[in-house]
Amino acid sequence: MIRRRRLVAVALLALVLVGAGWLGASLVDALRGGDDEPVAEQGASLTEHASDEAAAEESGEESSDQDGAADASDEDAADDARSGAGDEGDGEETTEAAQSTDEPERTEDERTEEEDAEGAEVDDASSEEDAAAEDGTAEDEPEPRRTETVGPENFYPPVSEASSDPDSIHVLVNRLNPLDPLDHQPDDLTTPQVRSSYDGMLLREQAADALADLFSASDAEGLLMTLTSAYRSYGYQQQLYDGRAAELGVAGADEYTARPGHSEHQTGLAADVIAYDNPTCGMGACFGDTAEGVWLAENAHRFGFIIRYQEGTEDITGYAYEPWHLRYVGEETAEAVYEAGVTLEEYWGEPAAPHYPGEE
């Protein structure tokens, strides 16, 4: 009996607890406002939510891919823009920027050492330039006009050729080509009718007449010149050479005076002229800068003369610039040589003659 009462009490207690639980759940539902879904609906909702999240993730991935592609396109466009800017300029800034991202950061001491090294290099370069300027090896130093003989093919067909005949107006006389015979004397020497430094000067007839025409033309323009040297005999040239050799030695004499038999003056076709009244320049390279010298260089060919020893051709003719020394070769050859702007050796295709045979 007692046992049955205990069972009934337990059953009542269980009912009370069940009822309390139901009441509590109802109370909670009331308080929450019915937002919770039934379990089955919750499961469906969770499934739909998962699908939504998956779709969102896929959409997010696609969006990310699109954003990434867009970013990549933007970066490519930026790179292209930078590349284009480098192409338009000299590219130095772009290169320096690329190098700066790869190089480790330098300390202040390292930067100072590098700057000192760069400064030393600049100083060395400046010293070399100064030294070059002092010894005359600077880049702006004028070089010889030419170093190789121009061949006759450059002027084909030439209007004349070099001759070994001492009576020809085209005879070539230089250190490699002496007169034959050495003591040759022309047989048509005459006194040119021109203003002269002293009486008794002689030239071959053709050269004398041409020089008279040249002086008449220059006089008409108010440019007065004077004949200061013409024909020299073998004996007179020997005296001049010996006097120079006694004063300067053989090497010094060869630099300024032709040996007898090797002088153009002995042909009777050479004439030295100077300005009649020029207080600043007599016979010298400065004559080329006078009004008379400029006119002579530009007009002598019209009368059959050339400036025989041109500036910068010492390695070909053997003589320094002599703007006063005229050589008669006839109008046609003089015109061709003047137009070519070369020496007589070059025009005739003859070897350069800076030295006498056997000399270096």
How many Cα atoms are found within 13 Å in the side-chain-facing hemisphere of 179?
24
Q: Let me know if 276 is exposed, middle or buried by CB neighbors in 10 A (0-12, 13-18, 19+).
A: middle
- Helical ranges in 136-225 per DSSP H: 205-220
CB atoms within 10 A of CB 176: 17
Q: Which two tokens stand for residue 326?
A: 């005229």
Choose, from 264, 292, 322, 345, the residue flagged as catalytic.
Answer: 322
Active site residue 96: no
Query: In this structure, is the dihedral angle defined by the CA atoms of residues 25, 27, 28 and 29, taken in order, positive or negative?
Result: positive
Q: Let me know if 139 is exposed, middle or buried by CB neighbors in 10 A (0-12, 13-18, 19+).
A: exposed
Q: What is the C-alpha to C-alpha distance for residues 316 and 337, in angstroms, rounded to an integer?
A: 15
Q: What is the C-alpha to C-alpha distance for residues 114 and 106, in angstroms, rounded to an integer?
A: 10
DSSP 290-324: SHHHHHHHHHGGGGTEEEEE-TT-HHHHSS--EEE
Q: Which of 285, 331, 280, 323 is nearest to 305 (CA)?
A: 331
Residues carrying an active site annotation? 322
